[in-house]
Amino acid sequence: MSVGSESGSPDSPPADSTTAPYVERGDIGYRQSLSSLQMQMIAIGGAVGVGLFLGLGDQLHSVGPGLVLSYAVVGVLVYLLMRALGEMSVYRPTTGAFVSYAREFVGPRFAHLTGWLYVTVAILVGIAEISAVGVYTAYWFPNAPEWLSALVALCLVFGSNILTVRAFGLIESVAAAVKVIAIVLFLVTGLLVVFLGGPFGWETEASVTNLWSGGFLPHGILPAIVVMQVVVFSFSAVEVTATAAGEAKDAAVALPKAVRGVVLRLGLFYIGSVLVLAMLLPTERYSGGESPFVTALASLNVPYLGGIMNVVVLSASLSGVNAALYATVRLLRNLAAHGSAPKWTVRMSGQGVPVGALWFVGVLYLAGAVLILFADAGSIFSLALGSASVCILLSWISIFVSHLRFSAQVRSGAIAPVSFRMPGTPYTNWCCLALLGVLVVSLLFDFSGDTGFYSLVVTMSLVAVHLATYEFVKRRVAREGLPDVTPV
């Protein structure tokens, strides 16, 4: 697809063997400054956040130790997702990531829907992360207003993102390193308590038998299936790696390394954490009102241990919202470059920061913090979590659909194959799409609250709204043309 055909008509067809190579106008103005290590840490920083440090408690309570099976299945899905996204990113690194690939291989309407669904997801995730800050700070200041700490957190992450991408990469790398070190220390300490607690004189409830004494799946298999859509939320933002590829120094080398490293570490952190937490305490002791890591460590009766872990999960929440904001503003700017978002969100600073999209998302995050004035932070977190989970399912579906079209062009010879490929395509694509379809359908049988049937209804309504707005976008672009993407 030529630049002219893409920029002149939002209904131009996907690329084929007779057209020029696709050029993404939404990448104009960015600087390739991120190293391979920074890309890995940004991806870890995004995916290891509130879903692990706070959401895991409610999941353990509702499913039991068998939650490890849910994480194992979704872990395989995430691996294949990242291989599919990684293959397309090596072919053409872009800050537009899967939104840009949806536009090239499926069509502009699909890209508009995919992009706005993910922007909606990322904003909800950001609000969830900010709300979690209020939950964490209540550990030390139970009488302090939760909105105040959320507002401070928002100012910090906004300040981080308005700097150059190199400064952002450094800040996020340090924050992600804190999380990685903390999780590794927790896993080691937890295993020592479980297997050597007696000889060290620790009086605990830790035991391997906690994995089955109350039942491996005490409430049956259905909760383990339904909770997978929440587990998907826990892994969300791992796709930030593809967005960062557009600002990487050598994406063809850095991206495969980042994908392999991130998937391996996330599998260890999530599955390992579920097993250790389930052995440290009976799963009914956990809840969504407190980080399960804090609950487990506080049960050891070691002074200040729970408080120290609360510092870690607080920094994890800040890191998670920081990475989510990074990805959101770049995808929103990509939408704006093609006429699918307000024109002023396309503005780019001379330092390569999409300031227009950053202010747009920052204001919406602020609105989420204001909501905490009228409801407790835990309620806001649960509401945002449920709504975002369904959108993430649809966003992941779009990635596999785009990769199916991409791989078809590779097989036809229209696109040269790359060295980093998704294994088993197209069969693995169809298997992943089938699993995601099952997870969406499973929500029809979940009436437990915000994470079930009602979230699905709300999300389908969002799909209808975004499809309707595309008709408006198409007419506006035909009338006014596309916005100028030159940095100012």
Biggest distance spanned by C-alpha atoms of the chain = 77
What residues contact residue 274 under an 8 Å CB cut-off, 6+ apart? 56, 60, 65, 67, 68, 71
| CATH number attached to the domain at 29-419+431-471 | 1.20.1740.10
* HSE-CB for 220 with a 13 A CA cutoff: 3
Question: What is the Rg, in whole angstroms, of the alpha carbon atoms belonging to the chain?
Answer: 22
Sign for the CA dihedral angle at 348, 355, 32, 89 comes to negative
The DSSP call for residue 211 is G
Specify the pLDDT at position 20. Answer: 61
Write out the two tokens for 184.
Answer: 């590794």
Rounded CA-CA distance 297/299 in Å is 5
Tell me the per-residue pLDDT of 445-488, one tens digit each, with 9 for 90 and over.
665 554 556 667 777 888 888 888 998 888 988 888 888 777 77
CA distances from 485 to 332, 345, 348, 349, 352 (A): 13, 10, 7, 11, 12
Helix (H, G, I), strand (E, B) or coil at 197: coil
Specify the pLDDT at position 335. Answer: 93
Which residues does the chain have with pLDDT short of 70?
Answer: 1-20, 46, 49-51, 54, 197-203, 289, 302-303, 305-306, 372-387, 445-455
CB-based contact 29:485 (threshold 8 Å):
yes
CB-based contact 215:64 (threshold 8 Å):
yes
Write out the two tokens for 154.
Answer: 């928002």
Phi, psi (deg, nearest 5) at residue 248: -90, 150
CB-based contact 128:386 (threshold 8 Å):
no
Specify the pLDDT at position 203. Answer: 66
Q: Where are the alpha helices (DSSP H) in 21-96?
A: 36-47, 50-53, 55-63, 67-91
Specify the pLDDT at position 51. Answer: 66
* Cross-strand pairs, 34: 248
Specify the pLDDT at position 261. Answer: 77
Specify the pLDDT at position 219. Answer: 85
Write out the two tokens for 398.
Answer: 């779009």
Tell me the per-residue pLDDT of 300-357, one tens digit each, with 9 for 90 and over.
776 676 677 777 778 777 777 787 788 889 899 999 999 898 888 889 887 788 889 9
| Domain boundaries defined on the chain | 29-419+431-471
What is the secondary structure of 400-453 as a DSSP string?
A: HHHHHHHHHHHHHTSS---SS--TTTTHHHHHHHHHHHHHHHHGGG--SSTTTH
Phi, psi (deg, nearest 5) at residue 34: -85, 135
Encoded amino acid at 113, one letter: L
Rounded CA-CA distance 408/160 in Å is 40
Write out the two tokens for 445.
Answer: 């049988």
